Amino acid sequence: MGLGDWVGEQAKNVRQNGLDGVRDIAYDLYAGLWWLAYPIPRGTNVYDRGDWDVLVILDACRVDLLRSVADEYGFIGSSENVERVESVGSMSKEWMAKTFDADHADEVAETVYVTANAFSERILDEESFLEIDEVWRYAWDEEEDTVLPRPVTDRALHAAREHDPDRLIVHYVQPHHPFLSIDGFDAATFGPDSSDTVVDALRKGKIDRDSFMSAYRDNLRAVLDDLELLLSNVDGKVAVTADHGDALGEWGVYDHPVGFLHPAVRTVPWVEVEATDTGEHTPETWKASPETGDEEVTDRLRSLGYVG
């Protein structure tokens, strides 16, 4: 969205919503100022952290969120097994740009990247990788307005068995919103006529924090349930982490603007697991769709709250 488009959208917002629209503008300007921190080098690149074979990215997963469900999953065991590390970015596109960089070109060239995050279209050069599998192009769930975990798991298993790459990175959408189950929240309030996400709803007091956290936690369970399947059908050392966390009011910010430095966003979980392929699961073959156009990419990023 260009500056002129943004000004037009904000003017419309003020006309329709009055003081609430003015508050939205003030918040957007404040959050946008964190772009100035983008050049600050922070965090450790995942290629420099351990000798993992498979790296699992849980999009927008806070450290405290993963620790809160750790004892429900045998491969984690307890909250004490969830380390806290610093990410190189505070938004997916920042994480991609700073992870798959020139300094790690050799490692990237031996990497298969299976991703449900549509920023791959705008940030990455597929020729830099052994392969990029953009699952969001052909396995988008129109009803849930996101990519569910299973197609990502299936494509990751296919990549592991077909290519046996030196490095396999599996990037799920969840626990990032949209939330698959929202208790006590009328999702229709934030339908096609509104650009608000559930995080905006929390900021504006339209959903209470307990309901939000319950749904956020359920989204995490949805992907961890599928991760159990992945771990029993792939060989090697697996590291589970996130591209960034999520701010829920820290320093007055909600969500995860580019450059944001608060630990709620810039520190992420890190769990290491040894996995063995039992061969018990045969992944479904997902049929690729025709080339996805720019408008469709924008729509899918909008569903994740990245485009206003």
Written as six digits, the tokens of 143 are 């009803």
User: In this predicted structure, what is the pLDDT of residue 31?
Assistant: 47
Please tell me the distance from the alpha carbon of residue 75 to that of residue 233, in angstroms, as a whole number: 14
Does residue 178 carry a pLDDT above 50?
yes
Q: Over 60: is that where the pLDDT of 1 sits? A: no
In terms of C-beta density within 10 A (0-12 exposed, 13-18 middle, 19 or more buried), how is residue 264 classed?
A: buried
What average pLDDT does this structure show over 209-234? Answer: 96
Lowest-confidence pick of 171-180, 214-223, 255-264, 278-287:
255-264
Mean pLDDT of the chain: 84
pLDDT over threshold 80, residue 11: no
Pairing of strands 247-248, 83-86: unpaired
Instruction: Please give the C-alpha separations between residue 127 and each of 108, 111, 131, 288, in angstroms, as whole numbers.
Output: 10, 11, 8, 19
Residue 287 is classified by DSSP as P
Distance CA 27, CA 102 (A): 34
Cα gap 297→140, rounded to integer Å: 11
Which residue intervals of 83-126 are DSSP H helices? 92-99, 105-109, 120-123
pLDDT for position 200: 86
Could you tell me the residue ranges of all domains in the chain?
1-37, 43-303
Question: How does residue 291 score in pLDDT terms, banded at 50, 70 and 90?
Answer: low
Residue 179 pLDDT > 80, yes or no?
A: yes
For residue 10, what pLDDT is reported? 42
Band of pLDDT at residue 38, cut at 50, 70 and 90:
low
- Omega within 30 of 0 (cis) for the link into 178: yes
Question: In terms of Cα–Cα distance, which of 66, 161, 176 is closest to 119?
Answer: 176
Per-residue pLDDT, 70: 98
The yes-or-no verdict on residue 29 having pLDDT over 60 is no
Distance CA 270, CA 56 (A): 10
In this prediction, residue 286 has a pLDDT band, given cuts at 50, 70 and 90, of: confident
Mention the CATH class of domain 43-303. Answer: alpha beta
Per-residue pLDDT, 75: 97
pLDDT digits (tens, 9 = 90+) for 88-113: 998 999 999 999 999 999 999 999 99
Q: How far apart are CA 234 and CA 149, in angstroms?
A: 16
**CA-wise closest residue to 153 among 178, 171, 126:** 171
Q: Which of 91, 78, 51 is nearest to 268 (CA)?
A: 91
The residue-averaged pLDDT of 63-85 equals 98
Q: Which of the pair, 38 or 181, is modelled with greater confidence?
A: 181
Do residues 242 and 60 touch, judged by C-beta distance below 8 A? yes
pTM above 0.95, yes or no: no
Q: What six digits make up the tokens of 150?
A: 């299973």
- Asked if pLDDT for residue 77 goes beyond 60, the answer is yes
Of the pLDDT bands very low, low, confident and very high (cuts 50, 70, 90), residue 33 is low
Confidence of residue 165 (pLDDT cuts 50, 70, 90): very high
pLDDT at 297: 58
219 close to 172: Cβ distance less than 8 angstroms: no
Which residue type does 296 have?
A: E
